[in-house]
Amino acid sequence: MRRVVITGVGVFASTGKDVNSFFENLLEARSGVCRITRFDPSALSVQIAAEIPDYCPQDYFPPKRLELLDYFTQYSLIAAREAMESSGLEVSDEERPRFGVVMGTGMAGANTFDSGYFNLYAKQATRLHPFTIPKIMHNAPTSQICMEFGAQGPSLATSTACSSSGHAIGAAFHLLKYDMADLMLAGGSEAPITYGTIRSWESVRVLAGGNGDPARACRPFSADREGLVLGEGAGVLVLEEFEHARKRGAKIYAEIAGYGLSSDASHITQPTVDGPARAIRMALREAGANPEEVEYINAHGTGTRLNDPTETAVIKEVFRDHARRVWTSSTKSMHGHTLGAAGAIELVAAVMALERGIVPPTANFTQPDPECDLDCVPNQAREKKIRTAISNSFAFGGLNAVLLVRRLD
């Protein structure tokens, strides 16, 4: 089987519009959560989100192209550009048929949906924007990235709610491993900060309100946690067959060594222990790794009453005595829950932790919870030259994705 390495990374998120600023803000426990500015949130009971600050689409795209791009596609292109630049990759015409793209999203063109329905029902419009369908399609980021970078190889989109981009990266990893491609761009994007979307999530009753201090609203694994905070953004990685990367002298951030996926087959919103545990064990098995080798877990860690103790139980089930020794942090405490983009954004955080030898904290931690008795790296980053990490993505619908990455010495 062929080895697969990460040679480029890109992020566009509330905590940073590039990888360096994103990771530095995570290390400093700086939150991207604030009162919503994208629209007037006064009528909402939850008025906070992790928005990308001061975002102006015209800074990144010409007006004509913007007519075709919902926010979630814009974010994906911006992150993909950084990933490609950081990789130093120049794809020849001969390589394009083996250069593919896999992108994940949960909600796709939420801004286009929201504005379109408002025009139809509130303003009684008789027609919608002619590019409405190309803007809302789940595969829009994949297709637009393919066109921008000339990728003609195996390409697709994944949509499995909060594990969408974890599955996208896993699919790209297997396409490379099993010799169906040599180069892949993979990741995910989401732009759920709309009036209708927030209203919908309010009804599920899992959102944190952020009374008093929005920046501290998301408190994963803390006893006083209130719920999740929605975030937006994109993460994209360049995946490359190892020998291809070595021959061109590419910088290698990490190796993807294992991918696990499973279904709870139980409940549409309530997670189980068995399903995620099977996904972690599958990733370990593919990587040929023992549980004791894992030194860092970037947890799904949403900050809801139900998710965090369940994920704790999952980690204990798989790692047994090692569970309390492995550092386990949730970066959602800072960049929010970016839904379909979460797996990619959080894998970038894990990869940078390997590359720089420092683990980002779980921010806003206040009180230990006996049901969440892991070492969740509370509030302060920790330095350690870790070699192996996993990133968990567990979704509504019970579809789980786990990625295992290793540092190459």
Nearest CA-CA partner of 223 in 369, 354, 80, 4 = 369
Catalytic-labelled residue, pool 138, 146, 162, 167:
162
Residue labelled with tokens 């928005």: 51
* Whether 300 is catalytic: yes
Please count the residues of the chain.
Answer: 409
Residue labelled with tokens 């139809």: 120
**Using an 8 Å Cβ cutoff, are 284 and 290 in contact?**
yes
* Whether 244 is catalytic: no
Half-sphere exposure (Cβ direction) of 308: Cα atoms closer than 13 Å = 33
Per DSSP, the residues of 214-235 read GGG---TTBTT---B-BB-EEE
Distance (Å, rounded) from C-alpha 201 to C-alpha 308? Answer: 18
Q: Where are the alpha helices (DSSP H) in 14-70?
A: 19-27, 63-66
* Whether 376 is catalytic: no
Catalytic-labelled residue, pool 300, 335, 372, 376:
300
**Using an 8 Å Cβ cutoff, are 230 and 192 in contact?**
yes
Catalytic-labelled residue, pool 138, 167, 335, 337:
337
Distance (Å, rounded) from C-alpha 215 to C-alpha 119? Answer: 33
Backbone torsions φ then ψ of 283, nearest 5 degrees? -65, -40
Q: Where are the alpha helices (DSSP H) in 248-377?
A: 274-287, 307-319, 332-335, 342-356
Element containing residue 128 per DSSP (H, E): none
Buried-state track 371-401, b at ≥16 Cβ within 10 A, e below 16: ebebbbbbeebbeeebbbbbbbbbbbbbbbb
Distance (Å, rounded) from C-alpha 2 to C-alpha 302? Answer: 34
**Using an 8 Å Cβ cutoff, are 275 and 264 in contact?**
yes
Q: Which residues pair with 11 in a beta bridge?
A: 235
Distance (Å, rounded) from C-alpha 65 to C-alpha 20? Answer: 28
Query: Mind telling me the catalytic residues?
Result: 162, 300, 337
